[in-house]
């Protein structure tokens, strides 16, 4: 029995097909973005091993913020979903804007391919998560998981 069938048998709306893949891709993207974002926010351009303590505090802050967004995505909270869509879009645009510079400066073919494919996957993730069918399924699932949808404790819901 598949996981979707198991969820249906328990009366829960299954997650949309592909949601786990999109969430996993965002987790990888968030993980790879911690150091570049920390450098950008702290303004530090030196070697990271010799970085002052404020840079490490910035790294911790960036990691915490991205972790908070990701946890809210997994909990199907609207803010987490929309922030994930926004961040995936920003990552995609940043990757696409970086491509001409990589080609002009003689970046390796592998690097150009990785950045290009990564940007395309971020675009696909943002488009997928913003589809009305996915948003409606996530909303139904979130409502089912909320304590108010369970009805009064110890009995059948009032009809």
Query: Does residue 90 lie within any of the structural domains?
Result: yes
Query: Does residue 44 lie within any of the structural domains?
Result: yes
| Residues spanned by the domain of 124 | 17-146
- CA pair distance 93, 123, nearest whole angstrom: 8
Query: Does residue 51 lie within any of the structural domains?
Result: yes
CA–chain centroid gap for 103, Å, is 28
Of 62, 69, 64, 71, nearest to 83 by C-alpha is 69
Percent of the chain with pLDDT over 70: 85
Query: Does residue 104 lie within any of the structural domains?
Result: yes
Query: Does residue 154 lie within any of the structural domains?
Result: no
- CA pair distance 67, 72, nearest whole angstrom: 9
Query: Does residue 41 lie within any of the structural domains?
Result: yes
Quick check: 129 pLDDT over 70? yes
Q: Given this model, what pLDDT does residue 5 score?
A: 55
Q: Which residues contact 112 (CB under 8 A, 6 or more apart)?
A: 99, 102, 103
Query: Does residue 3 lie within any of the structural domains?
Result: no
Contact criterion met (CB below 8 Å) for 80 and 73: yes
Task: Look at the chain and report how many structural domains it folds into.
Answer: 1
- CA pair distance 111, 20, nearest whole angstrom: 26
What does the pLDDT look like over 15-69, one tens digit per residue? 888 889 999 999 998 888 888 888 888 888 888 788 888 888 998 999 999 999 9
Is the pTM value of this prediction over 0.85? Answer: no
Query: Does residue 133 lie within any of the structural domains?
Result: yes
Quick check: 71 pLDDT over 80? yes
């Amino acid at each position: 029995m598949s996981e979707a069938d198991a969820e249906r048998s328990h009366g829960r709306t299954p997650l949309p097909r592909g949601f786990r893949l999109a969430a996993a891709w965002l987790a990888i993207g968030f993980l790879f973005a911690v150091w570049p974002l920390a450098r950008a926010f702290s303004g530090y351009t030196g070697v990271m091993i010799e970085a002052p303590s404020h840079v490490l505090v910035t790294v911790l802050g960036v990691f915490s913020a991205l972790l908070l967004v990701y946890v809210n995505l997994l909990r199907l909270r609207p803010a987490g979903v929309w922030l994930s869509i926004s961040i995936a879009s920003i990552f995609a645009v940043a990757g696409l804007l970086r491509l001409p510079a990589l080609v002009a400066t003689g970046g390796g073919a592998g690097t150009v391919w990785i950045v290009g494919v990564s940007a395309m996957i971020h675009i696909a993730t943002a488009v997928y998560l913003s589809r009305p069918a996915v948003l409606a399924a996530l909303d139904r699932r979130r409502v089912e998981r909320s304590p108010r949808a369970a009805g009064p404790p110890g009995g059948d819901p009032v009809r």
